[in-house]
Chain A
Amino acid sequence: MQIAGFRLDLERLPAPLPIWRATVRADTWLVVARAVVDAGGRLVSLWGSDRTRGAAGCLVASAAYALNEGLVWLDVELSGRVATYPDLAPLFPCATRMQRALADLLGVTAEAASDQRPWLDHGAWPAHYRPLRREDTRRTPSAGRAVVDYPFVRVEGDGVHEIPVGPVHAGIIEPGHFRFSVVGEKVLRLEQRLGYKHKGIEQRFTEVPALQAHRLAGRISGDSTVAYAWSYCMALESLAGREIPERACWLRALLLERERVANHLGDLGALGNDAAFVFGLAQFSRLRENWLRLSNEVFGHRLTMDCIVPGGVAGDISPAMAARLIGQCAEIESDVRILRQIYDEHSGLQDRFMTTGRVSPELATRLGLTGLAARASGQTADLRRDQPWPPYDRLQVNIATQCNGDVAARVAVRFDEVFESLRLIREILSRLPSGEIRHQIHLPGKSAFGAGRIEGWRGEIFVALEWDGENGANSIRRCHCHDPSWQNWPVLEHAVIGNIVPDFPLINKSFNLSYAGHDL
């Protein structure tokens, strides 16, 4: 395959979406990165693995790039006593935090990177412990330590003061720290500090049986349990070389679209509430509750956790249940249409939404904004349309886009996506193929690589999986899970510049990024 005229010896992984993998030398690493920039590609994820086996093997840094043709997963082998790799941050700003996390987890650093502060490691982990190093994974960690202070960037000048927020926030939300530098009410600078929820999930993956690890994947970010479980199962099925039954594909898409609607309904209500329109919260939270209750009846779980399993889905639905799901789409659609009109005509609400927290399309492209937020800033990317995997290859997804990049645009994209997902759900249910819902998965007796890529409600979820089947090891050697929040959190820092402090909760909610999925 060629990237902007540059030939690479790529191995195609047997995934339902086009995904290639290759190992490159350190000097090629940057050449390819530049070619990706020239071709208009994006950095999806950056991570690392310990591939040592006794004296053999080495540490590896990996990058995944999204191109028009598909996803390219590149490994660079790190040698020498000081394991480093070329810094990607000058080409892809979103690489900065991923590189800092990689240094915390594996102890390998980007050469001469401008920001080398720890990111996930707050000083509370045992001393000199690198959780993804094999020798550290095997030893029992010594006692933890106290968290240390973090060197925030200070803004100097007359009248500038700081507002520290978090990690325990005022609402029922996840923990993170926001440091605002403000003059009066106006935000000059926001610096985030995340990592509070890091609980060692990537190390945990290596201790869980591969055929049960979809449960762990489904608990990386509870609001995206379907997207993560599907992504993980896709990676596992791809390395096992096993396709899933057609009916299972369609049922997975049904679950994914229902997850999208559930989250959008919740967010639309919360956005009304954050602009002091409590009516919106009451209305949308009622719709969301109706939605979750039917999920519980049909799938046995309100948030549809553990419904996607390796090889297919856990349970089937009856024609009567399908009819109820279709009927609910009509009810929800008519209510959401009424509510959209109310939102659109409410001058106080629109005053808060419009021009607030703006990310211009140019900035979105430069910073690598992704997913729903990107579509509100003029980026027309959606895997369901661009790389349609079964059953989306038969569904013709219409994607929602807006150009203003403000809170109002992110609200509009959510409304449009609710209607489109309701249409898709009805179509999926009316065309649901018959047959089995689950295949047995046999994992290979050798080392193998697999990858999964899903357009979740927030954006693209990516899973890179390494299986070790040699000498009866039969375990996950490495499972890297990537949340689109990695790309979008830094953009939020830009979105709030020049806005007033009271608009921050509204802007933050309009992105609704994951802390758990980012901190892992």
Chain B
Amino acid sequence: MWRTVKQIARLGFRSEAAPSCDDAPRIESERIQRQLLAILGRALSIREVDAGSCNACELEINALNNPYYNIEGLGIKFVASPRHADMLLVTGPVSRNMAQALRRTYDATPAPKLVVAVGDCGCNGGLFGENYASRGRVANVIPVDVAVPGCPPPPIEILRGILTAVRRCRNKPD
């Protein structure tokens, strides 16, 4: 036990500032939390759906949970069910075998039902495109609010996409 405590104490607090949106980075995380509360009235819950990716996007989405990005510290968490989620974070291309599951996940998500498509494949089908087994970009199957390009996009860009979708949510009709 003392080794565990020693390691924690030795490393200290490693979280970094969230991506700046032209304000001073120091106040950024506080600002994000305030915005989430102002817009959603609660913390942001995300359900991640892999609709056919190569898994690289999932590796980078997982990285958002590491101590540097500390996404839970910003009031954002990944949840186990679409019924608990404000937002779907979807990677693609959407395979035909996953299209129905993705559609059902979308239907099960309550308002505001934000959708962020992550990665080049989610944005435009990527290298895989559309064929007998692939429906291509996420927007071909469910409505998308924000698309984050990159192959895979680094965690900080994914976080930026998530925050952009939340801000746009203010203008989204229910």
Binding site for B on A (CB under 8 A): 122, 124-126, 129, 131, 141, 144, 146-147, 167-168, 170-175, 195-201, 203-204, 208, 215-216, 219-223, 225, 266, 279, 281-283, 285-286, 288-289, 292, 296, 302-303, 305, 338-339, 341-342, 345-346, 514-516, 519
Contacts and interface: CB of A to CB of B under 8 A. Distances in A.
B127 A204 contact: yes
The dominant DSSP class at the A interface is: loop
Given A204-B131, A215-B127, 14 more contacts: A171-B78, A172-B48, A172-B50, A196-B97, A200-B134, A204-B129, A208-B127, A279-B7, A288-B66, A303-B152, A338-B3, A339-B7, A345-B3, A516-B53
A362 B59 CA distance: 34
A221 B126 CA distance: 14
Contact of B55 (A170, A195, A516): A516
A170 B63 CA distance: 17
A172 B152 contact: no
Nearest to A290: B68
B66 A197 contact: no
A146 B95 CA distance: 12
Interface in B26-62: 48-62
B97 A170 contact: no
B161 to A, nearest CB: 15
Contacts of A305: 56, 151
Contacts of B126: 219
Counting chain B residues whose Cβ lies within 8 A of the other chain, the interface size class is 35 or more
A204 B100 CA distance: 23
Contacts of B95: 196-199, 519
Interface of B: 3-4, 7-8, 11, 14, 48-63, 65-68, 78, 80-82, 93, 95-102, 105, 126-129, 131-135, 151-152, 154
The 4 A-B pairs of least Cβ separation, nearest first, read A222-B56, A285-B66, A170-B80, A200-B133
B58 A216 contact: no
A146 B102 CA distance: 13
Among A131, A141, A196, A197, residue most surrounded by chain B Cβ atoms (within 10 Å): A197
Contacts of A288: 63, 66
B56 A219 contact: yes
Nearest to A277: B4
A342 B50 contact: no
A306 to B, nearest CB: 9
Nearest to A287: B66
B56 to A, nearest CB: 3
Given A171-B80, A200-B128, A225 B48 contact: no
A508 to B, nearest CB: 14
Nearest to B134: A199
Nearest to A146: B100
Given A198-B97, A199-B133, A282-B67, A223 B59 contact: yes
Contacts of B53: 174, 197, 222, 516
B58 A172 contact: yes
A196 B98 contact: yes
Contact of B97 (A124, A173, A516): A124
A131 B56 contact: no
Contacts of A223: 55-56, 59
B63 A289 contact: yes
Contacts of A129: 132
Contact of B78 (A126, A172, A342, A516): A172
A179 B167 CA distance: 40
Nearest to B5: A279
B94 to A, nearest CB: 9
A293 to B, nearest CB: 9
Contacts of A168: 49, 82, 101-102, 105
A279 B152 contact: no
B98 A204 contact: no
Contact of B14 (A122, A199, A286, A302): A286
A292 B63 contact: yes
A515 B97 contact: no
Contact of B52 (A144, A199, A283): A199
7 contacts: A125-B133, A146-B100, A175-B50, A195-B97, A200-B131, A289-B68, A303-B152
